[in-house]
Amino acid sequence: MNKIFILFILSFAVPDFLFVYGQSNTDLMPLNTPNNTSTSNLFENAILQYASGVRFKDVLPVAIGILAFSYFIWKTSSILSKREVFPHKLRYTASGIPQSLIKSRIFYAVKYIVIFPIIMYGWVVVCFFFMYALNTSLSYDILTLIMVGIITASRIAAHWNEKLAEDIMKFLPFNLLFTLLLNPNLNSEKIIDSIPGFLPIMLELTIFIGFIGLLEVIMKVTYFLVGKIRHHSDDSLPIEPT
């Protein structure tokens, strides 16, 4: 058992130690080996099988990647799934006077014209490159269709049902992540070779974000008009005496 423990420690201290040890042990093994092995041999065979298969150093980067992507989706889904990404706040000047309505509307428009498209663009780009790094066999068009489709569906649902929008932003990327993990195609050389082709894709994603921003304006105007109509119809109803 002490020998097994020493082999296990050396596997972390010396790279490919178990692999070299396994090869040397295989070369010295006699041809007629009995099937009934001792407990020590069973542990040694388990360590040798670990050395030739998936190791913990292979699992650790995958775990860190899943954790980082999950945290990113978890934080952004609660923001991008809201109808009002930037809630209205009553601002005051240095003298304590409420800010004018015109300035408040200007700040509101700037947030949705400048900041909001940047947030959406960042979400699409991060998800796009993470999914491509996980499975390089996927085409750019398929990834663009999926990522832009998810963010568009979520923004439409946010003006109808924010809970549904959050589920779209959260569960669809997670389902796609674990689907790709079942059939990964990691190729670092292909990723490096594809870097020059990423610039046209990023410009194409900018065009899609522009269309999503236009759709956002249409949805907000529609939501405002519907709310006005409902408010006017409620005010026109007669008040029944109690």
Q: Is 44 left (phi over 0), alpha (psi -120 to 50) or beta?
A: alpha
DSSP 8-state symbol, 135: B
pLDDT (tens, 9 = 90+) of the chain, 242 residues, equals 444 445 444 454 445 544 444 555 544 444 444 444 466 677 677 777 766 666 777 778 778 888 888 888 888 888 888 888 887 666 666 666 666 778 777 888 888 888 889 999 999 998 888 888 877 778 888 888 988 999 999 999 998 888 999 899 888 888 887 777 776 666 677 778 888 888 888 888 999 999 998 998 898 888 888 887 877 665 555 555 54
Q: Which pLDDT score is estimated for 99?
A: 66
What residue has token string 């209205």?
88
On whether the CB atoms of residues 173 and 73 are closer than 8 A, the answer is yes
Q: Which pLDDT score is estimated for 26?
A: 46
> 59-109, pLDDT tens digit by residue?
787 788 888 888 888 888 888 888 888 876 666 666 666 667 787 778 888
What residue has token string 């082999």?
7
On whether the CB atoms of residues 169 and 77 are closer than 8 A, the answer is yes
Cα–Cα dist 56/174, whole Å: 23
